[in-house]
A and B are shown apart, each in its own frame.
Chain A
Amino acid sequence: MRKRLLFSMLVPFLAVILIAGLCSAVSAADIKIGGIMDTTGATSDVGKDYALGMDEAFKWINEQGGVNGKKIKYTWFDYGYRIPEAITKYKLQKRLGSIVIMGWGTGDTEALSPTVNKDEIPYVSASYSAHLTDPKKTPYNLFFSSDYSTNARAALTAWFDKKWPGKAGSKENRKPRFAAVYMFASPYCSAPIKAIKNQAELLGFEIGPDQDVSLFALDTKSQVMSLKEFKPDVCWHGNTTMSVSATLRDAYGLGLGADWIVNNWGFDENLPRLAGEAAEGVMGATPIGFYGQNYKNMDLLVAAAKKYNPGVPQEKRLIRTAQAWGDALLTWEALKRADKAGDLSGAGIMKKGFETLVNYDIGLGASPITFTAADHRPTTGCLIQEWKGGKFQEVARVDLKQRWPDKWEKEWLGW
């Protein structure tokens, strides 16, 4: 009897799935854009808001008339921050005929890069890894923001300029001590480490041992205690908000006493919520304005967020929405230019779209964007902000190209 029951439930269920599955032919649209997002995986703390923002941005763009009158059909999937799943979803997107793909993580973007080159599909990612900025190696990978290495260098420089002179150690004439905390096995976290260590050497830091903190970590006591042996003045945290806040709390609880500088995906409105008083004085790289911060075009974004996703409370929205808009607006502009030139092939979008952008300003507090055929680093510097007294405050806007023009041009491309 029970078996019968199971079957009588299972069979109609399977039939519905089968029918729905086979009916899923995608309706014809003029321009298809695919998305590979993380809403369930290790970076979903920041990925969910990004995915929402991206969806809203394309809806808004369609309302503005799309790409010179052509509508955009944006289809996205969650891949759970797993590289194998990203590869599957990429194949699915290709099958659906997407001409541009909005990607997410560093591991999958870098892993897919050779395939993307072969398929000539521009891949606009939320991974700002500097490894994706050398057009000789990765001609089809793009993003709107300063890359991670630039973020790291800028953050360390800003700390060195603004905070170090006020510390006790600087009067004793000793070297400032620096240590990096990140997940070793994550390509996102380890991407800027070489660059920030190089920068630390350049500025005359003493560099301590790295600490491994996983993206999901909740208990980082032993790492913080190892750090305590070294007594750093400043630590870099290269993860996302979840594990950054856990580390901050443990460091506060164990009395580490170092300042923290954080990569952009670990620095958002959630950080003070999760870390509480431990977040005071933390500095981070911000590629774009915080949600609702007073910048050009921010009101459009907030209005779109309220309109398309009224169910999501406003206080849950993060800077990630703005980051998604940054990538979406960049793509929109490139598509418009390429469409005007009459070439919507992959190579056309790159050559006649993206690579014609010079000092293009998307608003939202982002730095102006320039792409050339020889250099895909979108910006030359980064804004560093700090959580202080209950709000985010600007610390410094560091322009690396101005400060080290030679190294910027010759040495620092592509890592």
Chain B
Amino acid sequence: MELFLMTITTGVMVGGIYALVALGWVLIYKCSGVLNLAMGELTLIGAYVTLTFYQMGVPFIFAVLGTLLVGIALGILCERIFLDKLIGEPILSVIMVTVGMSFFFKGIVQFIWGSDTRVFDPPVFALKPIEIGFLRVSSVYLWSFILSILLLLIFVAFFKYTRWGLSMQATADDETAALSLGVSARFVYAAAWAIAFMSAGVGGALLGNINGINISVGYLGLLVLPAVVLGGLNSVPGAIAGGIIIGLLQNLSGTYLDNYFPGGVKEIVPFAFMAVFLLFKPYGLWGWERIERV
């Protein structure tokens, strides 16, 4: 029972970070229709930028804020250089450009920061766990979870109540109508990328605090795909639920399935689950069903 509860707790907490990154993914898709396979590398960049700020002596919270600023700049830059020209191109071209971006970023990141694990030194969160009853939760996990939930709330509020957020929603809904009402589509696309970069950056910074940063943080970018598919590609609450489900699924399978299928189950289960899930619910939990006409 204790094992089960601890697995669930860890799963939900890691899932919180996944949800944050998944949210960034969904945003880009919703606003500009780009299926982004470079999300992992955005996370990686965020993690390393935060680390660099932190090693320069900037307090962690300001390092994260600095990462947000860098994220905005990079997001807009990416959109302008790579994706601006691809609006309306076939899905394959768009995906392959993001694949190309992911290779490019990965190469650059490794060239600059190397491939060995780096940790936040001195540690931001104490290594000693917090004990709640018999549950032992690392303080990193707890803080990351709280922080990611907080950010999720901020993002959701941004979409619901601010002018920019509403204009982004409008563009996602019907681009032509939004344009006719004076919303600048180019601005919306750039904003979507900036926000995605920001959420990925914060996700990366938090993940990096758990046990350090190395290139495998970028694997998150692939993991985020099952999460968004579960939720439905264009649903913000779906992305959050999907992220948490994937976190849970991973930890449950790591703890319980490992005895039956030794080795590597943890990494595979989200994808296997996704493949089967798609057969039964091709549009995810809350995705829009598209009706096709000839």
Contacts and interface: CB of A to CB of B under 8 A. Distances in A.
Contacts of B127: 249, 252-253, 276-278
Interface string B210-249: 1111111101000000000000000000000000000000
Contacts of A277: 127
A212 B263 contact: yes
Contact of B254 (A209, A222, A254): A222
Interface string A33-74: 000000011001100100000000000000000000000000
Contacts of A184: 262-264
Interface stretch (A110-118, A223-231, A388-396): A223-231
Contacts of B216: 214, 216-218
B7 interface: yes
A102 interface: no
Contacts of B263: 184-185, 212
Interface in B97-127: 110, 114-117, 119, 121, 123, 127
A30 interface: no
A219 interface: yes
A216 B115 CA distance: 10
Given A218-B214, A249-B211, A253-B127, A225 B264 contact: no
A218 B217 contact: yes
A218 B258 contact: no
Interface centre among B115, B129, B136, B251 (most CB of A within 10 A): B115
Nearest to A243: B117
A361 interface: no
B123 to A, nearest CB: 6
A210 interface: yes
B259 A223 contact: no
B37 interface: no
B211 A250 contact: yes
A218 B6 CA distance: 18
A242 interface: yes
A225 B121 CA distance: 26
A274 B129 contact: no
Interface in B240-279: 250-251, 254-255, 258-259, 262-264, 266-267
Interface in A239-258: 241-242, 245-246, 249-250, 252-255
B115 A41 contact: yes
A101 B257 CA distance: 42
A226 B115 contact: no
Nearest to A190: B263
B3 interface: yes
Interface string A256-284: 00000000000000100110111000000
A222 B266 contact: yes
The 5 closest A-B pairs by CB, nearest first: A222-B254, A45-B116, A184-B263, A216-B216, A246-B211
Interface of B: 3, 6-7, 10, 14, 110, 114-117, 119, 121, 123, 127-129, 136, 138, 207, 210-217, 219, 250-251, 254-255, 258-259, 262-264, 266-267
Interface of A: 40-41, 44-45, 48, 184-185, 209-212, 214, 216-223, 225-226, 228-229, 241-242, 245-246, 249-250, 252-255, 270, 273-274, 276-278
